[in-house]
Structure 1
Amino acid sequence: MQPLWLPAGEALDGTVMLLRYSGPVRTALQQLKFNSRRALLELLAVECAAAGKGLPSKFKNVLQQTDVFIVPIPTAENRRLERGFDIPQFLFSWLKAEYVWIELLLRTRETIPQYGLGPQERKINLENCFSIGETVTGKTIVIVDDIFTTGATMEEAARTLKTAGAAKVYGLAMCGSIENYGQEQIKKHLQSEI
């Protein structure tokens, strides 16, 4: 299955989902996140890197620009400590050798897990939960995260980065689901790609 390019959202200038959040990938991520099945982390990282070889040309063009930062979505401190690892950091380690990887985003407050929340509840849960630790004026940022469903996490991060002066902010998720993310917009986009 080819990675999927999603059109711009409210603050995001486009997002790529490498895999679909379904079947074995969904089960493995849920086991990793909620049952701390660390053995699955390496398998998922291999899948993520393999899927990353098929990045859409639009996204490859973004990565070839100068002044591009790869920025992971920070895991809430209590969840990171509980698990003993940070999922996005590990899944996207294949990008660290080729691009500038910088942990710009900071969590300003704890949020409840997004799993089980509706789209509006997710937005409210994440409002003003990020800040940044360095200047990003004029930079192109690629935010990386494990799962993209409604886009609320990446949208809030993109909003924070753009408020701080980032020129463009894109998302890159290991997997995602388009069911809750602007279905009409995506249908039009998919039809225009045919």
Structure 2
Amino acid sequence: MDKKGFIAQIAPLAVAEMQRCGVPASLTIAQAALESAWGMSGLTLKANNLFGIKGVGPAGSVTMSTTEYSNGQYVQVPAAFRAYRSWTESISDHSNLLLKPRYVMVLRVDGPTAAKAVAAAGYATDPKYAGKLIELMDDHCLHQYDKGEEEMEKVTVIVDGVKIKDGLFDAKTGTSYVPSREYGEALGARSVDWDGKSRTVNVVTK
């Protein structure tokens, strides 16, 4: 999956979380891109952890080596990270983390302000963390997603006359977004699963 594909995968989920709890979509996308190396980090491939959140998650935990900034230098240290069953679960947990009091200044502000606030609150030890996030926002035009309802219209997806899910429509690209699981199940799929290693959605119909 290239960077454009990664953003297309993450953006609808980030916008939905922004509408749910006020975390700027641009921050969610930028953090996911930075922390997961655009979905290709070992932690993301192994545990669907897009944000480098430590601890025990819904699917347990995995121990990985991570880079921390300490005493003026970058060092490698082992740490236990949360494991998730899907990217959707990881993004939701990220939002819930940012709803904690220490991150209150992140909510309902523009992307750059949120980037500075999340860094100041100690999300990461990297002193250049905010700058890296803002650079990603600027380079990939992520600010457009902070206007969720203005830039991406809500649409209703109907299959055989039956509404399956509300989605989002990007008027600039003419692309509609709807969660693949709901779409697959509406078409009678037995299962719809995300394969983090190959970055594919597997739909089983037989």
* TM-score, reference length from structure 1: 0.26
* TM-score, reference length from structure 2: 0.25
Structure scoring higher RCO (CA < 8 A, sep ≥ 6) equals 1
**Higher radius of gyration, 1 or 2:** 2
